Structure 1
Amino acid sequence: MSTYHGKEATREEPRNVSLFGHRDYRHLFGAQLVALFGTGLTTVALGLLAYDLAGSDAGAVLGTALAIKMITYVTVAPLSVAYADRVPRRFLLVTLDMIRALVVLALPFVDQVWQIYVLIVVLQSASASFTPAFQAVLPDLLPDERDYTKALSLSQLASTMESLLSPLLAAAVLSLVSFHWLFTGTSLGFAASAALVLSTRIPDAARGDRGGAWERTMSGIKMYVATPRLRGTLGLDLVVAAAGSVIMVNTVNYVRDTLGGTQSDVALLLAANGAGTILAALLLPRVLDGIPDRTVMLTGGGTLLAGLTGAIALSTVEYGAAAPVVWAVIGLGTGLVLTPVGRVLRKSSRPADRPAIFAARFSLSHACWLLAYPIAGRLATDAGFTVTWLVLGALGVIGFVTAVRAWPRNDEDHPRPHAKAGFRNP
């Protein structure tokens, strides 16, 4: 029986209903999808706005905006936990969506670069609070393990499809109107997301009793580093960031400068990477029925290291025919690591601790990206791709070894801290 707070009725969803037969999940997935594509359109429009304001310095502006985004993610997500369970969850999500809608709507009116930075801080602060709160809803809304696994796969699939399709959608819109209209469309998307969330009957977060604001802020990170399997997932997050930064930061320059390829070739490599992630998301609901999360995620980590090894080999020759395969392998490994991680977080926490655990994971995983991004960007400029990818490969090996050592092989029998500290046995 799922208990809904407020005036909503208390009732049990039919057990033999498909995942999309759950009305509240269906609306939440729609909200996620609309917000994802809105974010993708904002990324395209922000690049054009930076060029409009800064011209040849647009790259520096975008680099700074990306750094601001990551720093905001790392710092704000844990802070938001201190008060996330003090307000109704639905009210929180709707408010954060509306803040994002208003910020995006204001972006076309800026005329100074510093104004972009200020609005990015506000926008990404809202996103850093929204995303972990949204992720923490699903375990409470979908208590059945198989339904929850399918929902995780769909979330990963939606995120990957957004990265592939948003540029195409933006190009179609830009063929008809000015890029400023992308911000308007994005704002409407966030407003639609808020309306969909408002139409649900999601349960409020279970209120924890973890002392003052600072203690509540740090509780998720303390629980995360104190739980062996979660330390293992953090090691794998470092592997994902090391390999993913090759894709996110270096693909354009690798294709254009090393291979002498075209913009279409850049799109092909990014599509190959996305196809690998999609394949993992489609296969995992069945795979996870019979194979432990640890095995699947460590396999993903090994796959990512294999992909990085392939990229290093490619960087030593001017022959890119195998590049789509290497990029697809990295995408496959990314999907194998990221898709099951929500199951591990749910297994490692009580309902009252889930907002803190999901926020801690959001913050710590982005800290890994904050470490890997500058290496991929600055070192590639100074030392070339081979040296850069060797360094990132070493970083990935450190993360993988950490995961193997921290995550007990016989995970089900490994003793857990007492539930009073915020943990429970699987």
Structure 2
Amino acid sequence: MTQKKWYKIVTQPFLTLKNKTFSKLYFAQLSSLFGDAFTWLGIALLAYEIKPENAAAILASALTLRVTAYIIFSPFAGILSDRLDRKKILLVSQIARMVTVCVLPFVYQEWQLYALIFILNIFAAFFTPTYRAIIPQIVDKKVYREANGLSMATFQLLSVFGPALAGIVAVWLGARQIFFINSISLVMAIILIASTPKIALQVNSPVGFKTKSKTWLQIAEGVKLLFSNKIVRFALTMEFVSAIAGAMVLVNTVSYVKTTLQLDDKHYGWVMATFGIGAAITAFLLGSLDKTKTRSISLISGVLLIGVAICFANFVNVNGLLVLWVVAGMGQTLADLPSETLIGENIESEHQGKVYGSHFAFSHLWWAIAYPVAGYLGTQFPDKNFLYGGLITLILAGILIIKFKIISKKMK
């Protein structure tokens, strides 16, 4: 590949920022995600402050509440994004998150922390599907994949470097004060959204759009559309397989690094950083590299990469793990990212809101299933947990790939 072509691939995602509406929404998302890193680090410190001996259980419960809020409320968010003023949904959800974050520094009891985390993620469940439903409507179809890749790469990079920066700031400001950093970032996001013309966010979803169908019927229709499209269904099921492998990485890496390899927190941080960096680089380049209609090359290679990578993790030292986790991060993105772009390309515009809401719910349901599986393998088979998790991933992937090919042949 020539240097000129590589330059085009690398710079093309940034060209999407020439679209003023997308640019404002992208930087609003960037500001919001930046603040979220501070909030979750603050929650971890707050959990330890409230009950040091039970901090891990509190954090596990917090993550469960987060996923639960997404699963319950994101389908409703998808329906509302097709019915109501999308700008109002984005503004109200961000304002509510800002208020909730500002209350967190004054929490001193466990139940208060749980309640605020649940509320915080209810509004996150409304913001994200609405944001995702807007992007394919405002970005030219030729660069939609690049725009989506830029958003996902930003998310991955902030998930790696955001907590590190938050940790430095926490030393300076203190555990409770860092929540106000997120509130400031949310204010910046609110300003960007407020400055965006309402009509620009309402493309293909006119304000005041009404439907005679009840909300639960609309949710059912969103689920039906999500699973009835063969291409989108395959991508979603591959997401489930990659979630099992991804959960193995997130749940069991810390024990392997600190217990098996007898290393410290610094090494654990570096290992997880390589996972995030691999995911971010792949997200950034994927839209420009894979132009196929079904994205099956990305989906299949992604699941195989992360499955093979974790299979060998029990048998390497920290240097080997660094390499494997870069590959695993690449595989995670290759398997997860196509679903959103495929919805934008294969679902009719008037139905995309409800379908994005359903996808957001199911993609988090996959992780809610995968986390206990990873926890069980980690506790029952500590010496070969990654090997067994990788084999499960590869076996499931093989079954789905064979099934997908059979269905494809029948449809020809």
- Measure the CA separation in 2 of the matches of 1:210 and 1:258: 59
Q: CA deviation at 1:414?
A: 4.8
Q: Which runs of 5+ in 1 are unaligned?
A: 1-16, 416-426
- Give deviations 1:200-251, integer Å, cap 9, x for gaps: 1333235474611110122211111222112211211112211111221112
TM-score normalised over the length of structure 1? 0.86
TM-score normalised over the length of structure 2? 0.89
- Measure the CA separation in 1 of the matches of 2:354 and 2:126: 11
- Measure the CA separation in 1 of the matches of 2:193 and 2:132: 13
* Contact kept in structure 2, 1:229 and 1:407, CA below 8 Å: no
* Contact kept in structure 1, 2:22 and 2:138, CA below 8 Å: yes
Q: Which runs of 5+ in 2 are unaligned?
A: 1-13
- Measure the CA separation in 2 of the matches of 1:223 and 1:105: 39
- Measure the CA separation in 1 of the matches of 2:291 and 2:215: 39
1:61 aligns with: 58
Distance 1:184 1:400, change over 3 A: farther
Instruction: State how 1:8-407 maps to structure 2 within 5 Å.
Output: 18-142=15-139, 144-201=140-197, 202-204=200-202, 205-206=205-206, 207=209, 209=211, 211-289=213-291, 293-311=295-313, 315=314, 317=315, 319-387=317-385, 389-391=387-389, 393-395=391-393, 397-399=395-397, 401-402=399-400, 404-406=402-404
* Contact kept in structure 1, 2:100 and 2:119, CA below 8 Å: yes
- Give deviations 1:157-203, integer Å, cap 9, x for gaps: 10111111112211221231111111111112112112111111333
Paired residues, number: 393
- Measure the CA separation in 1 of the matches of 2:195 and 2:398: 42
Q: Counterpart amino acid of 2:215?
A: A
- Measure the CA separation in 2 of the matches of 1:385 and 1:187: 43
Distance 1:168 1:351, change over 3 A: same
SS of the residue 2:174 aligns to: coil
* Contact kept in structure 2, 1:235 and 1:403, CA below 8 Å: no
- Measure the CA separation in 2 of the matches of 1:351 and 1:197: 22
Q: Counterpart amino acid of 2:269?
A: A
Q: Counterpart amino acid of 2:279?
A: T
Greater share of helix:
2
- Give deviations 1:19-39, integer Å, cap 9, x for gaps: 221111111110010111111
Output the aligned Cα RMSD.
Answer: 2.3
Distance 1:42 1:31, change over 3 A: same
Q: CA deviation at 1:49?
A: 0.4
Distance 1:85 1:286, change over 3 A: closer
Identical amino acids, percent of aligned pairs: 25
- Give deviations 1:52-76, integer Å, cap 9, x for gaps: 1011101111111111111111111
- Measure the CA separation in 1 of the matches of 2:411 and 2:286: 25
- Measure the CA separation in 2 of the matches of 1:407 and 1:187: 49
Q: Counterpart amino acid of 1:200?
A: T
Runs of 4+ in 1 over 6 A off after TM superposition: none
